[in-house]
Amino acid sequence: MLSPMAIQTWFITGSSRGFGRSLAIAALEAGDQVVATARKPEQIADLVERFGDRVLPVALDVTDAAAAAAALDAARDRFGRIDVVVNNAGYANLAPVETAPEDDFRRQFETNFWGVYNVSKAALPVLRAQGGGIVVQFSSIGGRVGGSAGLGSYQAAKFAIDGLTRVLATETAPFGIRWLVVEPSGFATDWAGASMEVQDVPPEYEGTVVAFNGRRRDSVNAGDPDRAAGILVRVVKSDHLPTHLLLGETAARMALDHSRRQTAEAEAWQAVSASADFGAEYPVELPAASMG
């Protein structure tokens, strides 16, 4: 058990299953206190039975900004402060952008981006008033690399989360608020199972969306969410907090490959980029096709 001074209070969205549940348990096993939010808080009843009053279950639909603010107020009223806010709630449905129903595309974005926005914004006055804290934003390796056919809304939201978080980190640095974007690869959760609806895909997209869905079904999700949760608890409690944390060997490999390709392309096109400025040499030769 940690000393009372070292005990942290976590506020975790989407705590009923997947990463959120694993992280809630890991934090509680580390001696911390957890505000475990979910659309159906009765699904967290077993955590209350196991860990007692160190768990506060709270009903929360993250797309409701007022509810997010009320949940954070309830957390502070119960435990006095909030040390770690974790935006974990999210889901994905699979369909081509062209044929995906717009209302479904928007609903996904409401949860996956605006839910993060709502909770992050509501947490700011709490963290600022207490002199700091940590916000953990769950993204995915797709939020860095992108290009997964059929996941247009989900990956667009993850890219948006990264952009928002970079701005927030700059704006709130003077207040002692720190930010961590988590980018997992495939993990043994139900994200790609019961939580995902695979919509009708027209034959024109068999080579992209259908093919990706087949690879997704056949792949082995090597990531252990309990191990990932343990890593996150250790990272949050360490003196060094990275801006981004890749989880899973696939995520690390994909990120490195992507960065190398981006760097090579930027270098190949650097002279063309510079030629757009007043006074620069213009025009310049375009790079060979093999370079770009």
- What digits encode the pLDDT tens for the residues 45-67? 999 999 999 999 999 999 999 99
Reported as type and span, the H/E element at residue 67 is helix 65-79
Q: What is the pLDDT of residue 219?
A: 64
Active site residues: 139, 154, 158
The rounded Cα 266 to chain-centroid distance in angstroms is 27
pLDDT of residue 193: 56
Give 38's strand partners.
59
184-226 pLDDT per residue, tens: 998 877 655 566 788 889 999 999 998 888 776 666 667 899 9
| Contact partners, residue 271, CB within 8 Å, separation at least 6 | 281, 284, 285
| DSSP secondary structure string for all residues of 125-136 | HHHHHHT-EEEE
User: Low-confidence residues of the chain, pLDDT below 70?
Assistant: 1-5, 190-195, 216-221, 290-292
Helix (H, G, I), strand (E, B) or coil at 281: coil
> What is d(CA 214, CA 198) in angstroms, rounded to the nearest whole number?
11
Q: DSSP string covering 220-259, please?
A: ---B-HHHHHHHHHHHHHSS---SEEEESHHHHHHHHHHH
* pLDDT attached to residue 198: 86
Class of domain 4-247: alpha beta
